[in-house]
Structure 1
Amino acid sequence: MTTTFFFLRHAAHDNVGQYLAGRSPGVRLGPAGRAQAFRVGERMQRERFDVIAASPRERTQETAQAVSVACGVGPVVTRDELDEIDFGCWSGKTFAELNEDDDWRIWNQERGTARTPAGECVEQVRERVCACMGDLAQKHPDAGVVMVSHADVIKAAVCHVLGLPGEAGFRFDIEPGSITVIVMGGWGSKLLRLNEGAS
């Protein structure tokens, strides 16, 4: 029995790439992001899945809802294990501000061992996303599951499947609105697609 996980990164919010949204409240999709989420929903009509799970952040919930409406699958299930990394006081700061912070530079240079101000490390992110996958695989064998999450969380899952260290996430991109597919069974897991666009 195998479970297919469709990892979707949330669609772009208006200021993606300009500041670290993290777990800041109120970060929602703008018009461009809603249009992108609509395209993701249309793209997912070509896939078979029974469940949509999403991080509690507004931008992931809005993306998941677009997929739910387009595909007639729902309701969306909120899973805290899919939440963004807890960046603590870094959340909401611009990248220009963060680049002046020595701890931020250490975090980016030593992702395998460094911790955020809130105390979370990449290994903890990997543990929680993999636990979520294991739980949903047990509940939905021989089914498809959509997981709407964040770039670093998806990277942690991919690194786990490929047997890569956590810091290897810097070697590939997970773009807003992208689709990454992982299959899990009793034999293990494998990566089928990485960072596929929704068009």
Structure 2
Amino acid sequence: MTEILLVRHARSSANASGVLAGRVKGVHLDETGKDQAKQLSLALANVPITGLVSSPLDRCMETARAIGANHPNISLTKNSDLIEMDYGLWSGLKLSVLSKRKEWSAIQSTPSQVRFPEGESFLEMNARVNQAIDDVFAQYSKGKKRQIIAIFTHGDVIKAIIAHSLGLHLDAFQKIVVDPASVSILRQEGNSRFVISQNIRADGIESSLGVRKSAATVGGGDGSSNSRVR
């Protein structure tokens, strides 16, 4: 059994100022973000993490290093396929300005039809990040030992991964909420993949990993560990 913790980076200076950061360099965690990363680190300290993988951007690496401090024997690996979407000419601009542009409506309702000027399309981003997740699952699912891999990445990236894992069309991914410093959990058992938890805060991580069922149940189950379909 392999589980991936999809960790959105803690709050950055761009989040605080309402800027679409994209891949702009020099975007770091602000003071609130540093505190969020610390709380995540404490929440994950007793979780038996076996892998740490991060987008190469500073805000993700800073969040990852905070968690990694409590897991000194696990190396942190950068994965460029988990980097933020390339928003092209929109990068670094205020969301309050961008939301008034004619493309905004399509971004919210039919993102599968959108490409950012001199940037990436949502379809390209979706294919890139979900292939990366498939690769991580394949890498860590070779043995029988339980594997828990923490992946530090970005809001739109995580939304696309969750939508794909649920079998949703990409156009539905804007209905998924992923807050800064939140954790969403995927589980792979054989050829089956489950979304165990989504957009949870630090204090809900351990219970999601330790209590939730690992297979679909008749009627949705009662939340107990023995409610699995046999």
Tell me the alpha carbon deviations over residues 95-114 of structure 1, each in whole angstroms, 9 at most, x when there is no partner.
12212322344323321221
Equivalent position to 1:170, from 156, 160, 174: 174
Q: Deviations over 1:54-84 (max 9, x none)?
A: 0011000000000100233432111011111
What SS is found at the alignment partner of 1:71? coil
Question: Which structure would you say has the larger RCO, counting Cα contacts within 8 Å and 6 or more residues apart?
Answer: 1
Name the stretch that deviates more: 87-96 or 9-18. 9-18
Could you tell which deviates more after superposition, 107-116 or 31-40? Answer: 107-116
Where in structure 2 are the equivalents of 1:101-112 lying within 5 Å?
A: 101-112=101-112
Cα offset, 1:53, TM superposition? 0.5
Whether contact under 8 Å (1:161, 1:190) holds in the other structure is yes
Residue equivalent to 2:96: 96
Q: Which residue of 2 aligns with 1:22?
A: 22
Q: Which secondary structure does the structure 2 equivalent of 1:145 belong to?
A: strand
Distance 1:121 1:185 in 2: 31
Q: Deviations over 1:18-41 (max 9, x none)?
A: 111111110001221111111111
Aligned residues: 198
Structure 1 gap segments, 5+ residues each: none
- The runs of at least 4 aligned residues of structure 1 exceeding 4 Å deviation read none
Q: Which amino acid aligns with 1:165?
A: H
| RMSD of Structure 2 on Structure 1 (CA) | 1.6
| Higher CA-based Rg | 2
The answer to whether residue 130 in structure 2 is matched with residue 130 in structure 1 is yes
The Cα offsets for residues 150-176 of structure 1, whole Å up to 9 and x where unpaired, read as: 011001110011111112122221000
Q: Normalising to structure 1: TM-score of the pair?
A: 0.92
Give distance in 1, aligned partners of 2:100 and 2:177. Answer: 24
Q: Distance in 2 between matches of 1:22 and 1:30?
A: 16
2:147 maps to 1:143: yes
1:119 CA displacement? 4.1
